[in-house]
Amino acid sequence: MNNIMIGRFVPGSSWVHRLDPRTKMIVTFVFIFVMLFASSWATYALSAAFVILAIRLTQQPFKLYWDGLKPIFWLILFTVVLQLFLTPGTPVVFHVGPLQVTWPGILNAIYVMIRFTLIILMSTIMTLSTPPTSIANALESLLAPLNKIHVPVAELALMLSIALRFVPLLMDETQKIMNAQKSRGMSFSTGGPIKRARAIVPLLIPLFVGALQRALDLANAMEIRGFKDAASRTKYRVLLYGRQDVVAFIGTLIFVLIFIGIKISGV
Amino acid sequence: MAITFEQVNFSYGAGTTLANPILHDINITIADHQVTAIIGQTGSGKSTLIQHLNGLLKPTTGQVTVDDLIVTNATKEKQLTKLRAKVGMVFQFPENQLFANTVLEDVMYGPLNFGYQTDEAKQSAQSALKMVNVAENLWQNSPFELSGGQMRRVAMAGALASNPDIVVMDEPAAGLDPKGQAELLELVANLRQSGKLVVFISHQMDHVVSVADQVIVMQDGHVAVQGTPADVFNRDIDWFKSVNLDLPRAGQFAEQLRANGVSLSRRPLTLTELATMLNEEHKHE
Amino acid sequence: MTQAITINNLTYQYDDHELFDGFNLSIEAGEWVALVGHNGSGKSTLAKLIVGLIVANGGDIDVFGKRLTVDSINDIRAQIGMVFQNPDNQFVGATVADDVAFGLENIELPSNEMPQRIDEALHTVGMENFKEREPHTLSGGQKQRVALASVLALGPKIIILDEATAMLDPEGRASIMKTLQNLKAQFGSELTLITITHDMDEAALADRIVVINDGRLIIDGNPDDVFSKSQTMHDNGLELPFAGELTARLTVKPKKYLDERELIHWLSPSNK
């Protein structure tokens, strides 16, 4: 489990770490949106350069990001293979039985791979440089307008941050219960599908019971510390846009403008 | 039925960039029909060590031998079931593993997994429940309706029900009140009497001196020392500070007496021993 | 003296069982009271009743003269802080600082006043160097000290520790006991402390010990009084501190109950 980088926060004090979480979130969404329009070598090269620059600014080694990509390698490969065989066009490069691989198919496959990789890298930059609470705070702040249509944004954000807080604990607990039941002879690897599905019950019930107990305890602890409702609270971590956020937005704007320029000139 | 560790090393995530070595060059023998206590400060590798006793963890290098079964890094999961039938494992706060509709069904889970017929499983579950003093009128209750102490005992019965030759417990007394602790020590003594090999982790040195035949002291993933409680607890007081462990309460008290000018012929390890020594001394005066 | 807590004729039923039936207890402001009893004796239930996490079937609870009712509950809770048994289940924030901030956010303290309050509270429990740490990187004892800081930051007049050391290793337990002694030294009569425990070394630190069993008050007195009643303690599933157990086994005993330090002095040659 240790090598899943997506969603993991790596503490640091780099330029990217210090950006307002809202800035990082907006830039990431803008980038993903723009990537949908990438269609030529020039646009992909530009986007890759943008991501590489951002990675450098996190002051984390490339290897960390590379490790993060590994677990989803198969997902990328699957998409690439789909593109490779299912893109019609000419010239046909070679046949594999009823399937044919075309030149546009090869190009498409490479593009999809790059697009996928860049989007994942960009999202990793955001989660790697932003503590989970800040992500929840940023969401709350960015989605605040939804309050007007009675979406309980503050509650949702608090729920999200508590859920994130309990993830390592529940993973730990799963491991412990698994060990306990394995010691009592639990096995997932024998018997038919029904037997295997039943084998998971001794794992799930203690997990649910434990999670419920934690939830009750946590509710008591929150109540005792004066929690009434999520909306009427002040914030310890106040979100403030600073100089570096302006720089980040201008940088992103320049990236988008050049991107559009390339698209228009048809390179 | 003895257990041996030969040159055992263990790392989490061995072979990756995130490899995290926990155990270093462990060479120990745990004798049959005895109670062995494993002590050491939090994070010294005690829990990792005992998870090697039933193959929940396999050594990264080296081998663990339990009776005639050898576990190395290459041992397949399927071969471990046989080992697990021999070793009853009680984890910290074992009440968290209960799941079945009734107490009896929960305790039968292990025996059934290890191939017992239903009535055999039922019988051994019943005798395990009797051994840990769970009253018969509770056997058909849901385990979740029980008190904390009762749940703990049901969970212990669950580990004892397949009548294992080896019983391993990770801090079984944690969170129990004095009465619960006394009952637990009695259970350990009974298990020993019935010829089982018992290994338990404890932070309470008084428990260690009252039931253990052997003590293994862990420090930073190494075995710092192994010996009888008398050997281990008669070491120099500074050594205890260096491994961040306490003496049994009687020993601590005696050390303080010594610092206040009361000379005792040796270091007492239990309350009774200390009281006897003080009473003797008084007679001579 | 001002009464911090007055419990009058309390009744509480649990699973068709009268746990409390006409229970009375009053605790003076500034006292340190240890509420002791074996597991299932009702001591934790009593704590939950005092802070209104569960509701009594009858009787009254007054906190600083104010009756506990549905309307007064928020005011009363503002005066009481509580630390629970499981260190993991009361850690709300993603980091130490966020956890201490949680209560301050609830009372709508202005953001710019928070850092100072957080620093002070963490300093009091000796966790000031762990501000940005995440809970899973802390030991149980450290998490409990953060929980204590989280209630301290809210400036309570009463702090209740509900078996807060039961799940800790000896090191963690010692660190909490030390912290409590520091707290008492720092706040003196400004702070009423209630520790719920079955560990007698912990109870011995208190000014007063209240032994309960099956919802009934068995003994109420200072540690010396309580620990001299060794038979009653044993009958109620409890032990004495080590010094008490030792004294009970001595052929020649001191005239009155002595704690560990006193007993060592009594046994030493300078006393003879």
Express each pLDDT in B130-186 by its tens digit. 999 999 999 999 999 998 889 999 999 999 999 999 999 999 999 898 889 999 999
Locate the DSSP E strands across chain A. 92-96, 99-102
For residues A232-239, average pLDDT: 86
Percent of chain C with pLDDT over 90: 79
Assess whether C226 and C117 both reside in one domain. yes
Q: DSSP character for B50? A: H
Interchain contact, B253 vs C246, CB within 8 Å? yes
- Give the structural domain span for C247: 241-272
Q: Residue A166's pLDDT is what?
A: 85
C163 catalytically annotated: yes
Per-residue pLDDT band at B213 (split at 50, 70, 90) = very high
Angstrom distances, CA of residue A14 to CA of A5, A238, C80:
18, 19, 41
Q: Is the minimum CB–CB distance between A70 and chain C shorter than 8 Å? A: no
**Is the predicted pLDDT of residue A5 greater than 60, yes or no?**
no
Assess whether C95 and C170 both reside in one domain. yes
**Pure H helices in chain B:** 46-50, 77-86, 103-113, 118-131, 148-160, 178-193, 205-211, 229-233, 237-242, 249-259, 271-284
Interchain contact, C167 vs B175, CB within 8 Å? yes
For residues C121-143, average pLDDT: 93
Assess whether C19 and C111 both reside in one domain. yes
| Residue B94, CB-side half-sphere exposure with 13 Å CA sphere | 28
Q: Calculate the average pLDDT of chain A.
A: 87
Q: Point out the residue among C166, C237, C252 whose CB comes nearest to the CB of B175.
A: C166
Assess whether C117 and C210 both reside in one domain. yes
Q: Which of B226, B248, B251, B241 is nearest to B38 (CA)?
A: B226
Q: Calculate the average pLDDT of chain C.
A: 92
Q: Is the minimum CB–CB distance between C245 and chain B shorter than 8 Å? A: yes
Stretch (H or E) spanning B227: strand B222-227
Q: With the C-alpha atoms ordered B226, B228, B229, B232, is the resulting torsion angle positive or negative? A: negative
- Say if residue C246 is exposed, middle or buried (CB neighbours under 10 Å; 0-12, 13-18, 19+): buried
Q: How far is C241 from chain A (nearest CA, A)?
A: 31
Which residues of chain C make contact with A214, given a CB cutoff of 8 A? Answer: 86, 88-89
- Quick: pLDDT tens for B233-276: 999 989 999 988 999 999 999 999 999 988 888 899 999 999 99
Q: Is the minimum CB–CB distance between B227 and chain C shorter than 8 Å? A: no
Looking at this predicted complex, what is its ipTM? 0.91
More confident residue, A31 or A232: A31
Do residues C34 and C197 touch, judged by C-beta distance below 8 A? yes
Q: Vertex B151, ends B150 and B156: CA angle to 5°? A: 95
List Cβ neighbours of C229 (8 Å cut-off, separation of 6 or more).
Answer: C219
**Is the predicted pLDDT of residue A214 greater than 50, yes or no?**
yes
**Pure H helices in chain C:** 43-50, 73-77, 96-106, 114-124, 140-152, 170-187, 200-203, 223-227, 230-235, 242-249, 260-267
Q: How many CB atoms lie within 10 A of CB C231?
A: 8
Written as one letter, the residue type at C220 is: D
Q: How far is C89 from chain A (nearest CA, A)?
A: 5
Tokens encoding C166 = 């039961």
**Is the predicted pLDDT of residue B112 greater than 80, yes or no?**
yes
Tokens encoding A99 = 């399937």
Interchain contact, C267 vs B262, CB within 8 Å? yes
d(CA B133, CA B87): 21
More confident residue, B210 or A80: B210
d(CA A66, CA A260): 29
For residues C31-39, average pLDDT: 94
Interchain contact, C171 vs B176, CB within 8 Å? no
| Residue A8, CB-side half-sphere exposure with 13 Å CA sphere | 13
Which residues of chain A make contact with C106, given a CB cutoff of 8 A? Answer: 225-228, 233
Assess whether C25 and C106 both reside in one domain. yes
Interchain contact, A177 vs B97, CB within 8 Å? yes
For residues A45-67, average pLDDT: 90
Report phi then psi at B124, rounded to 5: -70, -30
- Quick: pLDDT tens for A216-229: 999 999 999 999 88
Nearest-CA residue of chain B relative to A204? Answer: B99
Q: Calculate the average pLDDT of chain B.
A: 93
Assess whether C210 and C248 both reside in one domain. no
Q: Residue B16's pLDDT is what?
A: 65
Q: Is the minimum CB–CB distance between B21 and chain C shorter than 8 Å? A: no
Do residues C189 and C4 touch, judged by C-beta distance below 8 A? no
Domains and CATH numbers, chain B: 1-97+165-178+190-245 (3.40.50.300), 101-164 (no CATH), 247-285 (no CATH)
**Pure H helices in A36-102:** 41-57, 62-69, 73-86
Sheet harboring B61-66: ordered strands across? Answer: B20-30, B3-12, B61-66, B69-71
Assess whether C193 and C79 both reside in one domain. yes
d(CA A183, CA B92): 13
Assess whether C124 and C257 both reside in one domain. no
Assess whether C194 and C272 both reside in one domain. no
Assess whether C107 and C161 both reside in one domain. yes
Do residues B94 and B142 touch, judged by C-beta distance below 8 A? no
Q: Residue A2's pLDDT is what?
A: 44
Q: How many CB atoms lie within 10 A of CB A102?
A: 19
CA-based R_g, chain C, Å: 20
Report phi then psi at B192, rounded to 5: -65, -45
Tokens encoding B267 = 């270091």
Return the SS3 of B96: helix
d(CA C245, CA B253): 12
d(CA C231, CA C244): 11
Q: Point out the residue among B12, B89, B99 whose CB comes nearest to the CB of A183.
A: B89
Assess whether C141 and C253 both reside in one domain. no
Which residues of chain B make contact with C249, given a CB cutoff of 8 A? Answer: 271-272, 275, 279
Stretch (H or E) spanning A168: helix A153-183
Report phi then psi at B102, rounded to 5: -130, 160
d(CA B77, CA C195): 48
Nearest-CA residue of chain B relative to C139? Answer: B42
**Is the predicted pLDDT of residue C139 greater than 90, yes or no?**
yes
Q: Residue A7's pLDDT is what?
A: 62
d(CA C29, CA C63): 10
List Cβ neighbours of C88 (8 Å cut-off, separation of 6 or more).
Answer: A169, A214, C135, C143
Domains identified in chain C, total number: 2
Nearest-CA residue of chain C relative to A162? Answer: C92
| Residue B189, CB-side half-sphere exposure with 13 Å CA sphere | 11
Q: Point out the residue among A132, A133, A226 whose CB comes nearest to the CB of C103.
A: A226
| CATH classification of the domain holding C107 | 3.40.50.300
- Quick: pLDDT tens for C180-195: 999 999 999 999 999 9
Assess whether C7 and C31 both reside in one domain. yes
d(CA A122, CA C12): 58
Q: Is the minimum CB–CB distance between B163 and chain A shorter than 8 Å? A: no
